[in-house]
Amino acid sequence: MVLGLSFGNGITLIHFEQQKPRLFTAGDHLDCRYIRAFFKRQGMTATQYIEPNLSNIYDTTADIAAMGNEIIALHVTPSNYRLCKRLTSTLKEQEGRNRVIWFGNLAAVIGEEVFGETEVDGLVRWSPERTLSRLVNTEVEGWSAVNGFTSRTMVGRKPGGDSQALPTEEEAAAAAGVMELDELTGVWEDTSDRRRVAMLSVKCADQLGNPHHVAQGIRRHSPERLQRDLELAVRTSRQTAPVITIEGFDLIRDEVQREQILEVLEEAVFKAGYKLTVPLEACTYSMLERFKQCGVEQLQIKVPLGITPDAFPKDEAINYMIWQRQTGQPMTFSVTLTDDGNREADPSLTAELLHRWITEGVIEAISVRAEPMDRAKAIQPVILPEALAAVMLEHLTTEQPPVLLNEYTAYMTGYYPQQAIGGGVKHIGLTEPLEEEVPSNYFGEYTALNSALIYEYNQVYRGENPSYIYYDSDGVWKRSNRRFEELSEAADKEEYYLSNAHQVVQTEGTEYILQLNDFLQVEPIRIRQMGYSEAATREQDKNNVEFQMLRITSTEDLEAYLEDVDHFSRTGTFQHGYEIQSYLVDSCRWSGAQTCTVKQLPRLFVDGNQAVSGCRGCGAIGTLDDSMDRLLLQTAVVSDREQLVRGCATCEISASCTKCSFLPAYMNRQQYCNIRKKHNTMHLYMQTIELLKGLNKYSQALDGLSVDNFRMSLPTCTHKYPYERRGNVRSAVADTVFLFFIGETPTVYQTASQKLLKLSEPMALLLEGMMAGANRFELKQALRDRYQVEEEQADQIISQATDLFMQEGCLKHPVAVL
Ligand code: SF4
Ligand code: SF4
C-alpha cells in the first residue's frame, strides 16, 4: 500500500517501525507526515511505503523500486539503523541510479564515518521538509550545495558548504518571528482518510531545525497551533479517550513556554489523555500535581545514570507517585536512563532511586529504558554501571518476550497464522553442523526481514560465563553473548541482514535451553523435549507441566498419541495434563484441513549436507544452492502429486484432514491415511487443544481450568443430551463452534467472532443435540424427559435457543423438524 501518488519524479519515504524487539513493519511516522504535507503544499509528491507484513530484502527493494522514484528517503532511528543500512546497500546494488538519503533525528547528528560504513548517499541535517524538496528539485551533481544536506561527495566539509551554512532567508524569518514548525501546515488537515492508521502523537517541538539558529536546532509550535493539531489528532484518532504523546515537551526548557503548553493540554483535558517526557527536575510535588491536573496519564522521566543528592526527588514527590497507584485514574510512570558519558558521576543514588521506585510499584523494571545523552551515539549500547546493573538484574521479571516465544512455538508446531506467511521463510532450522560452512548471505535469498535462524545443534550454553548487561539501541536489555556476536559479525561481513538468531542448547538428556538472540534472560528459558510415549511415564502432577515439546518419532510415540486421541473422542476429556499444556512438534500433521502451510514454506530445515526440507525430518526438496522459487515449485509438485495419488479429492474426510504430504520415515502414506480415517475426530482433538492454549493465554475465562474438570462436547460424545448420534445425520452446528464444560458450567466459544458465552444447562443440552444431528422432535423429547416441561414450553425454549444460536452464527443450517 502507498500513501500519495507517484509520477516517478518524486520521493519515496520509508519508516520502519519496530513493533516488537527485532520485528518490523513499514509504517507511517509523524516526521514523514510533516514532509508529505510540505510536499503537497508545494505541488510535489512524497509517497510513503507502507507494508505491515515485510517480505525478504530483495522483494522489499523490488516493491520500493516499483514505486518509480529514484530518490528514496529512509527515516533512520537507533532501532531500525541496521535494517536501513542493509536496505540501503541492496537498493544501491539493485539499481545504481537509486539515491538513498537518510533523515530524522539520528541522521541529523550522526558522524561522517557513516559514509565509510554504509552506502548512503547523503544525510539530511536539518529541516527535512525543505531540504528534501530542494534535493528533488536539484540535479544530483548540485546536491553538495543544498543547504542542510551532507552528501557523500562532500565528506569533510560543512553541510551545504561554508557559504551555505547560514539559514536561508525563509528559515531565518521563520526562526526569528513565528515558531518555525508553524510554517509547516496541513499536517493534520489531510487525515480524513479512514483507511489510514490513526497517529497518536503530535509535536510541540522537535530537534530537526538548523542548529546554526539561536534555538540550536529546536523548532517549536505556537500554543495555538498545538491546540489545533491536538484537536484534529483527537478527532481523527477514532477513539473515545485517546492517549496522545506530546513530542518534544522535554526540549522546551523555558518554564513560561512549558506552562503555555500545559495550559493547552489542560483545555483539551476532557477529550484526551497525554504522554509526556520530562527531565528528573520536573519530579517535584507541585509539577506532578500540575501534570495530573492537565490530564497527563503517562510520564516518562529522564534520569541520568549518576545523580547528585540534590537531584534526588523529595519524599513528598515520591509519595505522590506511590499514591497515584491507588487512584481511580492513576498517572503511570516510566524511566529512561540517560548516559552523559560521565563515568565519574556516582550511580549509587540513581540505583537507590530506581530500587525504591520499583519496589514501591511506581515503575516496572521491564519498562526502564536507557539512551545516550549524545544523540549521535544513539546506535551504541548503554552499558550500565555495576550498581545499576545489579538493581536491574534483581528486578527484571522472569517473563520472556512473548512474541519471540510464540514464533518459536510456531516453528516447532508448524502452526502459522495465514496472515503471517508468504513473502519469505520465517524460520530456518539448522539441525546439524554444516559439513562445509556456507556464507550466511546464502540464507538471505529465503528469509523475510523478520525471520530467524534457529541453531539446533552443538551449541554451548554460556550463561555461566562472565558477561555484562546493557541496553541496546533496538530497545532491548541484553547480556553479552559471544556466540551471537560471532554470528552477527559474520552476517555483517557477508552483507546479510540477520534479524534473529536463536540457539537451542541441550544441557542434559531431555533438557534444553532456548537462547533468544542475545536478549537478557534473567531466568533461562528451559524447555524439555522428549518422545510422546515418554511424557505419560514422567508426568507426576497433571496440573503443573513444564514448558515441553513432545515429538512423535517412533511407532510407540504414535500409539501413545493415538490412545490419547481415542480417549478424547470417547469421553470428551483429556487423560493427561501434558496433552493441553505441552506442544506437539509438527501438530500441523494431525490437525484440520487448513493447517498445512508447506506450500508457502514458512519453515526450512537444513542438514549437514546443505539438503533443504520444508518439514522437520522429511525428504529434501532441494539444496541451499536452489532458488526460493525452485523450492516453492518443488514443494507444490510433491504436495499435489501426493494428494492425487492418495485420492484426497474424493476422500470422505477430505474436509477435516490436513493431508500432510511430507511424512516422516516411520510412516508411509497408506498408514497415514488409515490413521486419519480411523480417528476421524482427530482434528477436533487438535483444535480443542489449540483453543484451550489460546484462551488460556489471552483471556481469564479459563481461570481455574484443570484437566480433571474439563469436558468437551463432541458429535461422538455428549454430556447432557441423552441420545446417541445416529449413523449419517449431519450436525447442524458450525465447525467454528466449540461447546465445553468447566466443572458443571457449559460455555460456548465461537472462533469466527471470538465470542465466549456462558450457557444455561438446557441450552447446552440443545446445542449438543444439534451437534449430534437431532431433529426438533428429538430435542423436544430430550427437554421434556430431563426437565419435565410441557410440550408447549419445550417448543418455546427450542425456538428461543435456535434464534440465539442462529444470531451468534453457531448453526450451519436450521434444525430439521422431523
Ligand atoms: S485421509 Fe488420506 S486420502 Fe483422505 S484426505 Fe487425508 S490424506 Fe487425503
Ligand atoms: S506437510 Fe505435513 S508436516 Fe509439513 S507443514 Fe504440511 S502438515 Fe505440517
Q: Whose CA is nearest to atom 3 of ligand 1?
A: 648
DSSP H helices, 501-627, are 532-538, 555-571, 578-581
Q: Output the nine-digit C-alpha cell for 460.
A: 554451548
- State the Cα–Cα distance between residues 290 and 330, nearest whole angstrom: 14
For residues 415 and 587, the answer to whether their CB atoms sit within 8 Å is: yes
Atom of ligand 2 nearest to the CA of 660: 2
- Residue 642 CA to ligand 1 center (angstroms) comes to 10
| Neighbouring-strand partners of residue 750 | 737, 755
Atom of ligand 1 nearest to the CA of 659: 7
- State the Cα–Cα distance between residues 671 and 675, nearest whole angstrom: 6
- Other beta carbons within 10 Å of 351: 23
Residue of 653, 675, 682 to mutate, ligand 1, most atoms within 8 A of C-beta:
653
- Residue 660 CA to ligand 1 center (angstroms) comes to 8
Q: Whose CA is nearest to atom 1 of ligand 1?
A: 673
166 lines ligand 1 (CB under 6 A): no
User: Closest ligand to 644 CA?
Assistant: 1
- Residue 615 CA to ligand 2 center (angstroms) comes to 6
- Residue 666 CA to ligand 1 center (angstroms) comes to 18
- State the Cα–Cα distance between residues 410 and 603, nearest whole angstrom: 9
- Residue 658 CA to ligand 1 center (angstroms) comes to 8
Q: Which domains does the chain have, with CATH numbers?
A: 1-165 (3.40.50.280), 402-678 (no CATH), 716-818 (no CATH)
Q: Strand 469-471 relative to strand 477-479: parallel, antiparallel, unpaired?
A: antiparallel
Q: From start to end of 64-117, where are the E strands?
A: 71-75, 99-103
CA atoms within 13 A on the CB side of 561: 25
User: Closest ligand to 616 CA?
Assistant: 2
DSSP H helices, 647-739, are 669-678, 682-698
| Neighbouring-strand partners of residue 742 | 710, 745
646 lines ligand 1 (CB under 6 A): yes
- State the Cα–Cα distance between residues 662 and 616, nearest whole angstrom: 9
Map grid coordinates 487512584 to a residue.
327
DSSP helix/strand/coil, 580: helix
DSSP secondary structure, 600-613, as one string: G--EEEE-TT-EEE
Atom of ligand 2 nearest to the CA of 591: 7
Closest among 778, 760, 761 to 769, alpha carbons compared: 778
User: Closest ligand to 589 CA?
Assistant: 2
Residue of 416, 426, 584, 586 to mutate, ligand 2, most atoms within 8 A of C-beta:
586
Q: Output the nine-digit C-alpha cell for 550.
A: 513432545
Atom of ligand 1 nearest to the CA of 672: 2
Give the CA radius of gyration of the chain: 31
Q: 711 phi and psi, to 5 degrees?
A: -140, 135
User: Closest ligand to 599 CA?
Assistant: 2
Whole-number pLDDT of residue 4: 43
Closest among 672, 244, 606 to 457, alpha carbons compared: 606
Whole-number pLDDT of residue 366: 83
Amino acid at 712: M
User: Closest ligand to 595 CA?
Assistant: 2
Atom of ligand 2 nearest to the CA of 658: 7
- Residue 586 CA to ligand 1 center (angstroms) comes to 17
Residue of 643, 646, 680 to mutate, ligand 1, most atoms within 8 A of C-beta:
646
Q: 383 phi and psi, to 5 degrees?
A: -90, 125
Closest among 253, 247, 323 to 292, alpha carbons compared: 323
- Residue 427 CA to ligand 2 center (angstroms) comes to 15
- Residue 444 CA to ligand 1 center (angstroms) comes to 35
Q: Whose CA is nearest to atom 8 of ligand 1?
A: 648
Residue of 591, 594, 659 to mutate, ligand 1, most atoms within 8 A of C-beta:
659
Residue of 584, 585, 597, 673 to mutate, ligand 2, most atoms within 8 A of C-beta:
597
DSSP helix/strand/coil, 311: helix
- Residue 655 CA to ligand 1 center (angstroms) comes to 9
- State the Cα–Cα distance between residues 182 and 660, nearest whole angstrom: 61
Atom of ligand 2 nearest to the CA of 616: 3
- Residue 618 CA to ligand 2 center (angstroms) comes to 9
- State the Cα–Cα distance between residues 455 and 248, nearest whole angstrom: 43
Mean pLDDT by 10 residues, the chain (818 residues): 49 92 88 93 90 84 88 94 92 88 94 91 94 92 90 68 48 57 82 65 92 83 92 84 92 91 86 92 95 94 91 94 88 92 80 94 89 83 87 74 79 89 88 80 80 79 63 83 80 80 86 85 82 84 74 93 95 92 94 92 93 93 92 96 96 94 93 96 93 76 74 89 69 89 88 83 93 89 90 91 89 78
Atom of ligand 2 nearest to the CA of 589: 7
Amino acid at 813: H
For residues 471 and 643, the answer to whether their CB atoms sit within 8 Å is: no
DSSP H helices, 193-249, are 223-236
Amino acid at 173: A
- Write out residues with Cβ below 6 Å of ligand 2: 414, 586, 588-589, 596-598, 615, 658, 660-662
- State the Cα–Cα distance between residues 685 and 591, nearest whole angstrom: 8
Length of the chain: 818
Map grid coordinates 441420545 to a residue.
723
- Residue 659 CA to ligand 2 center (angstroms) comes to 8
For residues 348 and 385, the answer to whether their CB atoms sit within 8 Å is: no
Q: Whose CA is nearest to atom 7 of ligand 1?
A: 659
User: Closest ligand to 614 CA?
Assistant: 2
| Dihedral angle of Cα 281, 329, 202, 123, to the nearest 10 degrees | 60
Atom of ligand 1 nearest to the CA of 660: 7
